A and B are shown apart, each in its own frame.
Chain A
Amino acid sequence: MKREKFGIKENHIFIIATMALIVLLYGYGSIAFAGFFSTQVFLNLFIDNAYLIIVATGMAFVIITGGIDLSVGALVALISMVSASLLEAGLNGFVVMALSLLIGIAFGAFQGYFIYRFDLHPWIVTLAGMFLARGASFLISTDSIVITNETYSAISQAKVYLFGDHYISIGAVVAIIVVAIAIYIAKWTRFGRNVYAIGGNVKSAGLMGLPVKRTTILVYVFSGFCSALGGVVFTLYMLSGYGLHLLGMEMDAIAACVIGGILLTGGFGYLIGPTLGVMSMGIIQTIIMFQGTLSSWWTKIAVGFLLFVFILLQRLIVMKRRKRNVIRLKKVRNNVKVQSPSQSVSSEYK
């Protein structure tokens, strides 16, 4: 099937660049460090970053509409806190999970409604949401709460064997399912396409009769849901709740999206991107772990550097796109009209 025929071809460049980066980094690690080139090391990327993949995927939809969600990291911390305290109080594990997801959905819907209804900048609304969620987690307790609930412990320790004795966690399975669903939504549903249209030109989208309001709110609902799901997965991974968990994680999620080729200006990007972004960052972290002598803060330096490179790359491509030749109608006789990709046109035609 000629899948790429439908897509936004320019974006393949970003995805290819990110994939090349992953191969390069992984190749470097494999050569430099013994034991790096193992299936389990690779699978651990998913296990250790499952929550981030989920959150970044939710974030990607928001960014594609041209928005941003800064509340995700705090929301994950809040979910970890709420879960831990409710479990401590003796609630059933599955009930706690369901409640967590409901909190995320409500939180996202609230933010989305504000952003749409009062035409507020998402940056400021979700910043408020971030403070609210972070503060609320300390309201529950200022200390870390350890989770001893049997259901959580069991799920946490469960291993899903893929082949041989290589395994991934339940959290990683959830992450992969979320990514698959996200890719489907983005490509094959009206909601997904409306997200791209709004990111491209919100005024046009409105004039074309697209449900701008519903889509905007739903995008934040989806991000809230993903954050909550990420929160549940993270809680399972850590088996504790703490208000200081994941400080600044929203920035990691945004970085993952950018490295994965989601343009911050909206309208462009593939939903596999955030996962690739998270993996690049995960591999850097693993390399630094294997290296042993470098402080783990070097991960941040490397990611910072990568971001610069990727933002620059995206910018250059966008600028080139503006300058490049557009396809114009050829001078025609009679009724045959042909495209001619070679004719150039001055920049005011964009």
Chain B
Amino acid sequence: MSVSVTAGALPPAVALEGIDKSFGPVHANKHIDLAVQPGTIHGIIGENGAGKSTLMNILYGFYQADSGRILVDGRERVIQSPEDAIAAGIGMVHQHFMLVEPFTVLENILLGAEGGWTLQAGAAKAREALLRLERDYSLEVDIDARIADLPVGIQQRVEILKALFRGAHVLILDEPTGVLTPQEADHLFRILESLKEQGRTVIVITHKLREIMAVTDNVSVMRGGEMVAHRPTAETTTEELAELMVGRKVLLRVEKAPARPQAPVLEVEHLEVVDEVGVRRVKDVSFEVRAGEIVGIAGVAGNGQSELLEALSGIRKATSGRVLLHGQPILDAADARAKKLGHVPEDRLRMGLVRGFQAYENAILGYHLLPAYTEHGFLKKRGIIGHCLDWMKNYDVRPVAPLLQGTSFSGGNQQKLVLAREMEHDPDLLLVGQPTRGVDIGAIEFIHKRLIAMRDAGKAILLVSVELDEILSLADRIIVMFDGTITGELSGAEADARRIGMLMAGIREEAAA
């Protein structure tokens, strides 16, 4: 596919031609063409594993393409390392920030651009330059603060400053809003706008359609390692983009009937959790979850949701307070399971699965002592594989191969396998953490439908997610957590992103009013 450039116009700030990249048997980028016009914000959208990050990491010199050319401002550049990319005026803000936590902001920015073999002179000069950049782009940061003490939103600004300090004219941002509150995301978009006004070029990689529509001028869609479409943002719709991403029509909004909550299944009273280092992670949290409803816990990652979930599932001891399931206390994780609590943990690779286990083994993990699977201390392998096959078919786990290792499945399929395990053992209460993290749109749709079906079957579901859209579309009641406390509770009907966003930032409604 060739990209037309109007006669007389500037050459593209970045042009990729025929980029091809394989990792072993995985063909991550198939002959990709892309042209990004200078002074625009260009979105690259696609599902997880579509090859967006690989493509951008090639442009940033982190990986080398097997074939293809990179042109910057119309001139071909050989980019074999981040050093080359920086020299070509390309900067990148990675999804996981590339910051050294015990360092100050200044030290992080200096790293690799020290300006001399001792630090003193370079540091003084950098200080001046940074103050100027902060003013020009409203990137307020205390440059002597330690990174570890800064919230993620500010850490991201440090990353942007770092790139600008190195003279980046093209800034790549990989999933920049994943860790931000809606307000922080809005601030980020304003920063991107001001970069654009100053003539810089921004490339944003994301899987969130809303962001693409809000902030970009042009959008390119990737699917399965290929570039499938280029569109001016003004001429497309979220529906079209979603269809291009997935390759078929998708329902963005989950269809669901109003909830019919019944008796409480889970009661949490004044729960406190203090972690190993002595930090109070959960502070005096009380709520209940009733049969037949989905309660969503919203919040920016790291505000106590993980610890709450671990305490509820019996993995972590609560410091004080009570957790009652059907009116009875939960002793530990095994007891929780015996009392019909299912748990889909947040980090499926660390807690949901054993990486080296085959699918059928992973499919009964934690339930392996049930007589259905074990006889006289031996696993009934044949029977287990049979169950596993059924579940894989019902939950659309692909490939349907019970003997395949856990890590050989894609993220979405791993998640569906964990979900199948926990749902098929018929829990009365299901705790679900980040059910669609790293899961593609098609699988998200499936998982959401399953959760709704389970609710309608009269089960209680507690959903913890940092994806606000997910909470908004699934939850019947929404609890917002900030810094270990509950800052507010809204019914699904009255909730909107703005109100939740305020609560996620710790601003309680009565205080705001």
Partners in one complex: no
Interface, chain B (partner A; CB < 8 A): none
Interface, chain A (partner B; CB < 8 A): none
